[in-house]
C-alpha cells in the first residue's frame, strides 16, 4: 500500500496531466490505495485528489465497469460507508461522507454502460437509505480538516438513486422518506446548503412523474406540518430547515408550475 505522501504525490502528478494515468500503472492497486486513504483528514488528499480522481477516471472509462462495481461495493462496506457509524464529532465521518460520494459517480457510469442489475441497483438504494437513517454526524465544514458534509453528500446519493429506472414508485416513496429524515436529523438549522442538495433529489423524483401529484403534495404537506415535542430551540431549528427546503423547492420549480403554488404557502409559515 502506498503511504500518504506517496499517494498524494502520484495523484498530484495525475491531476497535472489532466487525469491521464502513467503507462503500466496497476489500476486495481491504485483504487485500493485511494479507498484506504479516502477518509483521511487531509482535505487536499481526500477531496481535491482522491474523490476528484475517482470521478474523472470513472467518467473517462480508465476504470472498467467491473472495476467500478468492485470499487462501489467496497465503498459501501463496513470499513468505508459504515465505518464508525453512529459516532458524532469524530474523524470517522470523513470516511463515511466521502464513501457515499462514490455512489453517484458509480451510478452515473452504470447509466452509460450498465454493469448493475436492477436488483443490484435496489441494493444500492437500500444501502443509501440505511446510511441516511444511521448517520449522526451532521457537521458541514470542520475547521482545519475541511468538508465533512455527510448530509449533503448523502443527498447527492439520494438524487442518483432517484434517477435510476429500476427505482419504482414504492422505492421513490422510500427516498422521499429519507429526504424527510435528513431534513429533520439536524437539531440546529443546516447552514451549508444541505437544503439545496436535498432539493435536487426531490426535484428528480417530481420530474420523473412516477409518483402522482397527489402523492407529492401529501408528502410536502406532511413535512410542512412538523410539530414534534422536544426542546424549543431544536424544534424551531428543524422548522427553519424545513422552511429553507420549501423555499429551495419553490425557486427550483418553473414559473407557473402547479406544485410551486402549493409549496409557496408553506415557505414562510411559523
227-240 pLDDT, tens digit each:
776 666 778 888 88
Q: Which helix (H) or strand (E) holds 181?
A: helix 169-185
Distance of CA 162 to the CA centre of its chain: 12
pLDDT value at position 231?
66
pLDDT at 108 over 90: yes
Residue the block writes with cell 454502460: 113
SS3 168: coil
pLDDT value at position 192?
85
Number of neighbouring beta carbons within 10 Å of residue 73: 17
Q: What is the pLDDT of residues 56-99, one digit of tens each?
A: 999 999 999 999 999 999 999 999 999 999 999 999 999 999 99
pLDDT at 270 over 60: no
Picking from 220, 209, 115, the residue whose alpha carbon sits closest to that of residue 162 is 209
More reliable by pLDDT, 188 or 261: 261
Q: What is the pLDDT of residues 15-37, one digit of tens each?
A: 999 999 999 999 999 999 999 99
Number of neighbouring beta carbons within 10 Å of residue 58: 22
Which residue(s) pair with 146 in the sheet? 142
Residue the block writes with cell 420523473: 208
Which residue(s) pair with 142 in the sheet? 146
Q: What is the pLDDT of residues 133-145, one digit of tens each?
A: 999 999 999 999 9
DSSP at 231: -
The percent of residues in the chain predicted with pLDDT above 90, rounded, is 87
pLDDT at 269 over 70: no
Amino acid at each position: 500500500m502506498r503511504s500518504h505522501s506517496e499517494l498524494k504525490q502520484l495523484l498530484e502528478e495525475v491531476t497535472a496531466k489532466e487525469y491521464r494515468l502513467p503507462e503500466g500503472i496497476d489500476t486495481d492497486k491504485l483504487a485500493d490505495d485511494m479507498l484506504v486513504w479516502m477518509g483521511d483528514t487531509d482535505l487536499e488528499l481526500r477531496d481535491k485528489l482522491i474523490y476528484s480522481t475517482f470521478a474523472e477516471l470513472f467518467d473517462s472509462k480508465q476504470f472498467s465497469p467491473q472495476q467500478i462495481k468492485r470499487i462501489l461495493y467496497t465503498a459501501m462496506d463496513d470499513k468505508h460507508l459504515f465505518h464508525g457509524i453512529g459516532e458524532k464529532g469524530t474523524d470517522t465521518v470523513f470516511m463515511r461522507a466521502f464513501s457515499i460520494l462514490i455512489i453517484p459517480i458509480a451510478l452515473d457510469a452504470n447509466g452509460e454502460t450498465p454493469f448493475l442489475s436492477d436488483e443490484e441497483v435496489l441494493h444500492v438504494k437500500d444501502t443509501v437509505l440505511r446510511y441516511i437513517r444511521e448517520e449522526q454526524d451532521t457537521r458541514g465544514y470542520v475547521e482545519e480538516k475541511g468538508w465533512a458534509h455527510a448530509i449533503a453528500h448523502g443527498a447527492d446519493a439520494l438524487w442518483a438513486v432517484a434517477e435510476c429506472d429500476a427505482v419504482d414508485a414504492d422505492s421513490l416513496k422510500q427516498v422521499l422518506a429519507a429526504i424527510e429524515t435528513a431534513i429533520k436529523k439536524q437539531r440546529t438549522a443546516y447552514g451549508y446548503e444541505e437544503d439545496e442538495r436535498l432539493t435536487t433529489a426531490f426535484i428528480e423524483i417530481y420530474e420523473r412523474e412516477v409518483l402522482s401529484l397527489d402523492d407529492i403534495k401529501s408528502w410536502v404537506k406532511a413535512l410542512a406540518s412538523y410539530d414534534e415535542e422536544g426542546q424549543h430551540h431544536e424544534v424551531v431549528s428543524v422548522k427553519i430547515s424545513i422552511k429553507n427546503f420549501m423555499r429551495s423547492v419553490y425557486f427550483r420549480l418553473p414559473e407557473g408550475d402547479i406544485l410551486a403554488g402549493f409549496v409557496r404557502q408553506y415557505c414562510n409559515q411559523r
